[in-house]
Amino acid sequence: MAEKRDELRQFTVTPLQTNCYAYVSAGECLVVDPGGSGAAVAEHLDDVRVTCVAATHGHGDHVGGVAALCHATGAPFAIHAADAELARHAGEMSEVGRSYDENAPAADRLLAEGDVIKVGTATFTVMETPGHTPGGIVLVGGGSAEGLAFVGDTLFPGSHGRTDLTGGDERTILASLRRMAAEIAPETMLLCGHGPATSMAVELARNPFLR
Ligand SMILES: [Zn+2]
């Protein structure tokens, strides 16, 4: 029997409608940005082995479900070193006035530029894209995940993530966006932290912040 093709599952979590993604390959699963409802997300992944829970950045609406999901699955938690501390306070009252499910646990793996997360026959390479937060990353798919990238709150269709929160910086995010434009292949589908997906080709054509 032919091996099952890779699969992308998507869950919408938290009152801010965060996209939580589960990338499944050869029975293994990478979960990106479980912002809340970690136990409920785990119930929808009971047919796979969750091998990594990764966050694109440390905001509560992206990591509030990490503790419950890691507890339910035994998977390690990975986040960029510069956002690990932010994530550990994700469940507390923040400047956006809302507290999320729970603080994230201490990171099991601190991510940095060029690090690779393997899941089945897919790879995801860390691209540091600070600006929304200091430790924001994009996970660029390779292997059987070629043509996909998880971009968190760095890029949205025609726009980019907020830079007015603590640790945010407009000039820095613009540099990150220009880097994405130069290094991510145009045909790549960009899976955003909120709202619909887009592609690099579409963004190169219409996103003013990529120029
Ligand atoms: Zn955010």
CA–centroid distance, 162 to ligand 1, in Å, is: 8
Is there a domain that residue 1 lies in?
Answer: no
CA–centroid distance, 152 to ligand 1, in Å, is: 7
CA–centroid distance, 2 to ligand 1, in Å, is: 39
pLDDT above 90 (res 99): no
Is there a domain that residue 2 lies in?
Answer: no
CA–centroid distance, 184 to ligand 1, in Å, is: 21
CA–centroid distance, 99 to ligand 1, in Å, is: 13
Is there a domain that residue 195 lies in?
Answer: yes
pLDDT above 50 (res 1): no
Is there a domain that residue 138 lies in?
Answer: yes
pLDDT, mean over the chain = 95
Provide the β-strand partners of residue 31: 22, 53
Note the pLDDT tens digit of each residue in 10-60. Answer: 999 988 899 999 999 999 999 999 999 999 999 999 999 999 999 999 999
CA–centroid distance, 143 to ligand 1, in Å, is: 28
Q: Provide the number of structural domains found in the chain.
A: 1
Q: Region 88-111: what's the mean pLDDT? A: 85
* Predicted confidence band of residue 74 (pLDDT cuts 50, 70, 90): very high
Identify the CATH number of the domain in which residue 98 sits.
Answer: 3.60.15.10
Is there a domain that residue 115 lies in?
Answer: yes
Strand 77-80 versus strand 49-54 pairing type:
parallel
* Domain hosting residue 64, numbered range: 7-210
CA–centroid distance, 189 to ligand 1, in Å, is: 20
Q: Region 152-174: what's the mean pLDDT? A: 96
Is there a domain that residue 62 lies in?
Answer: yes
Is there a domain that residue 168 lies in?
Answer: yes
Note the pLDDT tens digit of each residue in 118-150. Answer: 999 999 999 999 999 999 999 999 999 999 999
CA–centroid distance, 154 to ligand 1, in Å, is: 8
Residues 34-43 as b or e (16 or more Cβ within 10 Å = b)? bbbbbeebbe
pLDDT value of residue 96: 63
pLDDT above 70 (res 4): no
CA–centroid distance, 192 to ligand 1, in Å, is: 11
Is there a domain that residue 113 lies in?
Answer: yes
**Selected residue with higher pLDDT from 185 and 16:** 185
C-alpha 2/C-alpha 20 separation (Å) is 28
